[in-house]
A = this chain, B = another copy of it.
Amino acid sequence: MKVGVIGGGQLGRMLSLAGTPLGMQFTFLDPAVDACAAAVGEHLLGGYDSQEHLQQLAQTVDLVTFEFESVPAETVAFLEQFVPVYPSANALRIARDRWFEKSMFKALGIPTTEFADVLSQADLEAAVAQIGLPAVLKTRTLGYDGKGQKVLREAADVVDAFAYLGNVPCILEGFVAFSGEVSLIAVRGRDGEVLSYPLVHNVHNDGILHLSVASDEHPLQALAQDYAERVLKELDYVGVLAFEFFEVDGGLKANEIAPRVHNSGHWTIEGAECSQFENHLRAVAGLPLGSVEKVGHSAMLNFIGSIPATADVVAVADCHLHDYSKAFKPGRKVGHATLRSQSAQRLQEQIAALEALLDS
């Protein structure tokens, strides 16, 4: 089976590393000459809005999927004329727009923060009057890793905030006083079968994921799965979907969904029986899903900007390095490592040993 992927970054690269053993062959459409997925597949060098390249891709593959959601809706609609595309244009349309996404949560009875649509500075002022401060103004689309947002703490912050984010459609979200951040990686097959990995505890630094720890019988697992299943069914979704939640007062408030494999699911490569990458591919290819059971205890630590010396990283006990072969650059995700252990106690020691390398 030939799989086309929109985007050729580390997620595409890891999709190929998981799918090549299934006999799949990958083609990545990416405008970057140094797309890191090119090491493990064909690289179609072209823009996401180039009909010529999209058509070329569609003609050479059996199906198309995505490694990021910020794809123009027209791109997906164009592709769907020629080749099966998973997840669907409709799922991407909802997931890439914070207003559609939160409106869907509300319609499905999934608790989320207060929010308001902001299409102008006047809208923003009305929304602040309604929701109060502090609050967060975010662009409806294209935001990630803390980009495309501004925290509003006092009245002075509101002035010109809409212009600050570029005079584009925004959403104002009430501040959530949360006790923790968790994410659920769920997968839905073409036949509607849904499986969910154990909830993951996430720690962010400066808006970028730093550490994910797979949980052990989390008390909110069933609730998170219930919410995810509502969304997956609503969107008639096919593939992996990541669902980020805030833990609030012993319950969950939905933060956002990502219609793709997700950084907080990277631990599944070594830490689960079947990884999120393989399960995404099984789902889009119409194959039976694989087991989402944990294998021992696992944690994932991101390498942001740079990676310590390979010899030091792999010297940490049961440490699995994933170097994306990307040029080092401040703030850029260039790799991660998964730590696996038979004991939760020992896992903490391994995390400490790996974090010590980051500080040195």
Q: Mark A residues whose CB is within 8 Å of B.
A: 13, 16-17, 20-23, 25, 39-41, 273-274, 282, 286-288, 290-291, 295-296, 307, 310-311, 314-315, 317-318, 320-325, 335, 340
Contact = CB atoms under 8 A, between A and B. Distances in A.
Residue with the highest number of chain B CB atoms closer than 10 Å, among A22, A307, A320: A22
A325 B25 contact: yes
A273 B324 CA distance: 21
Contact of A295 (B291, B296, B310, B314): B296
Contact of A20 (B40, B273, B318): B40
Contacts of A41: 39
Most chain B CB within 10 A, of A20, A273, A311, is at: A20
B291 A317 contact: yes
A287 B310 contact: yes
B17 A20 contact: yes
A16 B13 CA distance: 12
29 contacts: A13-B20, A16-B40, A21-B320, A21-B321, A21-B322, A21-B323, A22-B310, A22-B321, A22-B323, A23-B321, A23-B324, A25-B39, A25-B325, A39-B40, A39-B41, A40-B40, A273-B318, A273-B340, A274-B318, A274-B320, A282-B314, A286-B311, A287-B310, A287-B311, A288-B311, A290-B314, A290-B318, A291-B317, A291-B318
Nearest to A14: B21
A18 to B, nearest CB: 9
Contact of A315 (B288, B317, B335): B288
A14 to B, nearest CB: 8
A294 B13 CA distance: 27
